[in-house]
Amino acid sequence: MKSSITKLTATVAVIVVIIIGIQHFKSNASTAEIAGSLKPALTQANIASSKLVPIDIKLPKPMFVGTEKDIRVPYLEPLAESCPPFLAPVGTTNVALGKPVAGSDEEPIIGEIEMITDGDKEAADGSYVELGPFAQHVTIDLGAMHEIYAIVIWHFHKEPRVYFDVVVQVADDPDFIKNVRTLFNNDIDNSAGLGVGKDKHYVETNNSKLIYAKGVRARYIRLYSNGNNFNDLNHYIEVEVYGKLSL
């Protein structure tokens, strides 16, 4: 009897040791998995952060304060009080400056299409291009593939306006057939035929509209609009594209 009890006790002890060992192994394995999943992410984040620097966007002088009370546009975001902060890799510049521009309206009502990338962001007369009514678009050719981190737009900031069906796309070819990607779309009813957009309408100010591009690779940038809350015409003062030549 005593021998049987001794054997049973020994067996129980062995089972307990095995269970403890299994639990210890699982605990160590879980810890290793967590450490393994976090370490690469933290390392990548640290590396990425060390390469990013603030990009100084020179803003034109403001032409008005506040907004008109009669701007009644659905899905309108709050008025931007400043240009949002923007970080990008070292060496990022405005790669659109002086680059060729083409437009759906080949004979603008006011100004020349090349003025869209001439570096003049002021709202004074003679600084903006006025395109025809209804849907129009302009296309900027960067001349080569670039990594694009942000696109900054000034349509018209002499007075507060809201432009409709603002869509910004990038592509590898001038006809926008190859590798077309949409970076911004506030066409809430698909009236431009480019898909229903989820971005909000916004009031034009000297603070611009900054669209994050997250390093997308492209050569061509196309910008659409379809009139504004004041009239059916389309305007551009300046478009800046912040990026680096893609190696």
Report yes or no: 171 and 177 within 8 Å, Cβ to Cβ.
yes
pLDDT of residue 57: 95
Q: So where are the chain's domains?
A: 2-52, 56-245
Task: Give yes or no for residue 37 having a pLDDT over 70.
Answer: no
In the chain, count H helices and then E strands: 1, 11
Work out the pLDDT band at 247, boundaries 50, 70, 90: confident
CA distance 144 to 12: 74
Phi, psi of 35 (to 5 degrees): -60, -40
Lowest-confidence pick of 27-36, 55-64, 72-81, 162-171: 27-36
| Mean pLDDT for the stretch of residues 38-43 | 30
Instruction: List Cα–Cα distances, 240 to 3, 44, 59, 144, 155, in angstroms.
Output: 89, 29, 11, 16, 12
Task: Give yes or no for residue 19 having a pLDDT over 70.
Answer: no
Task: Give yes or no for residue 2 having a pLDDT over 50.
Answer: no
CA distance 185 to 151: 13
Work out the pLDDT band at 67, boundaries 50, 70, 90: low
Q: Say which CATH architecture domain 56-245 belongs to.
A: Sandwich (2.60)
Across the chain, mean pLDDT equals: 83
Nearest CA to 128 out of 174, 161, 150, 172 is that of 161
Instruction: Say how many Å lie between the first and final Cα of the chain, rounded.
Output: 83
Global model pTM greater than 0.85: no
- DSSP character string of 57-78: PPPPPP--SS--TT---SSBPP
What confidence tens digit (pLDDT) does each residue in 74-119 have? 999 998 788 888 999 999 999 999 999 999 999 999 999 999 999 9
